[in-house]
Amino acid sequence: MAPKRDKSKVEAYHDRVARIYDAIYSGRYWEFYDRLTWEHLKRYLPTAHGARVLDAGCGTGKWGLKLARSGFRVTFLDISARMLEEARDAYEGGRFPWAAAYVKADICAMEGLVDASVDLVVAQGDPLCSTEYPARAVREFFRVLAPGSVCVASVDSFGAALAHFVGAGDLEGLENFIKTGRTRWLAKKEGEDFSLQMFTPERLRKLFEAAGFEVLSLIGKPVLPLHAHQELLEDPASFRGLLAMEKDLWRSADLAVLAGHLQIAARKPLVSEEKS
């Protein structure tokens, strides 16, 4: 379990980088990554115009803004006040049919949100990895979702981190990581080295099932080692071809372990087990 002081470190880091956050994750690789995210996410969008969406750990609001453009009512929630400011500025600088809500909170303690009050939860940017209590956060997602609604969340992959420890020759760190699944954010400033929880596909699936969710799908993004070969994404035809290959690879859940990130879609049952 992460020490409680990590919560303030997570907030401090995201406050500091809020204005440059989108630039950090720019370029052709991240365009490809976002396409993968969207191609999977869009399968689980509510069908009703004006359905209620929670962008949990929203950051600068990238996904909430995209969903608002699709006609959904969006609540932006983040632990960082400055990230919320970026999301608010972007939202209020556009034209959307509904007013947005902005909530400053940790995803594992969303007391300001009413039970069964949203029709979709998105948790992109891996907020489940940096919160102190991932299991508590997933239970909160379950609580605020209406029955029959879906959560789509992204996390850092356990498998992708192994190469870091081996490459650094850090055998003690590697042994501890294998036992716990936890590492530390590679902070550039003092006071920002917060704990990160990474997940195998099995651990991620069990995390959601333990909260009462029915897992619908779990994918790797990307499965192919494209971060080290980003030049392959420069040609539009290659970009499209690789995207199609990734979507074929989704059919084998076993291959998700090769990916840098995992993405899960899980549904809250229409009738919870407690009431069935």
Q: What are the residues whose beta carbons fall under 8 Å from the beta carbon of 198, sequence distance 6 or more?
A: 129, 155, 156, 157, 158, 160, 161, 177, 181, 182, 183
Model pLDDT, residue 160? 87
Residues 33-37 have a mean pLDDT of 97
Report the pLDDT value the prediction gives residue 32, as an integer from 0 to 100: 98
Give, in order, the Cα–Cα distances in Å from 241 to each of 86, 228, 237, 251, 256: 34, 18, 6, 16, 19
Average pLDDT value for residue range 258-273: 89
Q: How far out from the chain centre does Cα 88 lie?
A: 19
- Give pLDDT, residue 3: 45
Q: Each residue of 114-168: pLDDT tens digit?
A: 999 999 999 999 999 999 899 999 999 999 999 999 999 999 999 888 888 898 8
Domain boundaries 6-267, corresponding CATH code: 3.40.50.150
Token couple for 132: 């102190």
d(CA 152, CA 138): 11
pLDDT at 170: 87
Specify whether the CB–CB gap between 171 and 179 falls below 8 A: no
Domain ranges of the chain: 6-267
Mean pLDDT of 80-101: 95
Contacts of 111 (CB under 8 A, 6+ apart): 105
| pLDDT at 98 exceeding the cut of 60 | yes
- The pLDDT of 216-238, averaged and rounded, is 96
Average confidence score pLDDT of the chain: 92
Model pLDDT for residues 217-227, shown as the tens digit of each residue: 999 999 999 99
- Would you call 98 helix, strand, or coil by DSSP? coil
Residue 274 has pLDDT above 50, yes or no: no
Which residues are 182's β-sheet partners? 197
Region of residue 223 (phi > 0: left; psi between -120 and 50: alpha; otherwise: beta):
alpha
pLDDT for res 242:
97
Pairing of strands 182-184, 195-197: antiparallel
Average pLDDT over residues 211-219: 98
pLDDT recorded at residue 272: 52
Does residue 65 surpass a pLDDT of 70? yes
Is a pLDDT exceeding 80 seen at residue 39?
Answer: yes
pLDDT of residue 187: 64
User: Which residues make beta-bridge pairs with 159?
Assistant: none
How much is the pLDDT for 275?
44
Answer whether residue 173 shows pLDDT above 90: no
The residue among 212 and 194 whose pLDDT is bigger is 212
| pLDDT of 129 | 94
Q: What is the pLDDT of residue 276?
A: 42
